Amino acid sequence: MDDTLMDRLRAAASRFGPLSLFLIPTLAIYLYFAIYPTLSVIGFSMTKWNGISPDKTWVGFDNYTKMFSDRIFWEAFQNTFVWSAVIVVINVGLGLVIAALLSRVWRARLILQTLIVLPVVISPMAVATIWRWMLQPKGVINETLSGIGLDALTRPWLGDPDVVLFALAFAHSWSTIGLSVIIFLAGLQSVDEDLYDAAKIDGATTLQAFRYVTVPALRPVTAVVFILTLTTAFKAFDLIWATTKGGPIRFSEILSTYMYKRGALENQYGYGSAIGVALLVIVSLATLIYLRLQTRPEDR
């Protein structure tokens, strides 16, 4: 058995060994720019360091202990989950629906597609500036709502603790959903039209065809969109920082803004790094759990 395994390894080495040499430059860049900083952050998280002094004091897991008993960390943690959940629901759910509808539209499809994707190419700071302006108490959104007789729905969007996170999550989705739509549209191209024809012959309605043909067929694509959306949502920073700085009070504080405040603004780089590591672990776990749930039993 061992011999067989060794033989296989030798065969693989002789077949791919020379080729793998070509991977070395890419691998070196990846190690230097992705792995090394990540490991450094893990190292910093075990120190007390103001980010300036050459002296870093080793404190082991003290920053993590402090983090677990930090009330504001848990507030930011909870907000991050709500924020991410809203964005995932919009970008994955609504993104799939929009893509499915677009795939059935022939006239003006390109224009619609462009309109939906356009916000993706706008810089995050510009997005923040646009939405900050629109979400002011006398901004476009409230003025529009008032103009159509929906005064009851007007809100001080950025100052209302109950809605601020949702308003900003919506703004984030507005600027990122185009990417989800494009990926779903690409996935839809690969769904066999015969499946829809068969469903139609079996008497399936459009909704049933969507539920029993489109959704299962796009399972791998959905996983990609989910992971992309989740990671983008978790690392979001610009929009919140440029609009509310985590406020009012801390009602839109998410882990990335809290990490920035503690680390960069208060010079607690060790503690900020610990929050960064927590963020990394949470995103990784969420991705793994989702992938596990998405994998059908027969594929395991």
Under the rule (CB under 8 A), what is the footprint of other proteins? Answer: 50-54, 132-133, 135-139, 156-161, 241, 243-245, 247-250, 260-261, 264-267
Shortest spacing between CB 164 and other proteins, in angstroms: 9
Beta-bridge partner residues of 47? 58
Shortest spacing between CB 6 and other proteins, in angstroms: 48
Please list, in sequence order, all residues whose beta carbon lies within 8 angstroms of the beta carbon of residue 90, skipping any fewer than 6 positions away.
169, 170, 173, 177
Shortest spacing between CB 175 and other proteins, in angstroms: 19
Please list, in sequence order, all residues whose beta carbon lies within 8 angstroms of the beta carbon of residue 50, skipping any fewer than 6 positions away.
267, 268, 269
Closer CB to other proteins, 135 or 218, in the complex: 135
Closer CB to other proteins, 159 or 210, in the complex: 159
Q: Which of 223, 156, 149 is nearest to 183 (CA)?
A: 223
**Taking a C-beta distance cutoff of 8 angstroms, is the pair 94, 87 a contact?**
no
For the CA atoms of the chain, what is the radius of gyration? 24
CA distance 266 to 113: 44
Closer CB to other proteins, 172 or 250, in the complex: 250
C-alpha dihedral (198, 104, 218, 177), degrees to nearest 10? -170
Q: Which of 90, 80, 76 is nearest to 176 (CA)?
A: 90
Closer CB to other proteins, 124 or 248, in the complex: 248
Closer CB to other proteins, 213 or 261, in the complex: 261
Shortest spacing between CB 159 and other proteins, in angstroms: 3
Shortest spacing between CB 247 and other proteins, in angstroms: 5
CA distance 138 to 195: 51
Shortest spacing between CB 144 and other proteins, in angstroms: 17
Please list, in sequence order, all residues whose beta carbon lies within 8 angstroms of the beta carbon of residue 55, skipping any fewer than 6 positions away.
49
Closer CB to other proteins, 63 or 91, in the complex: 63
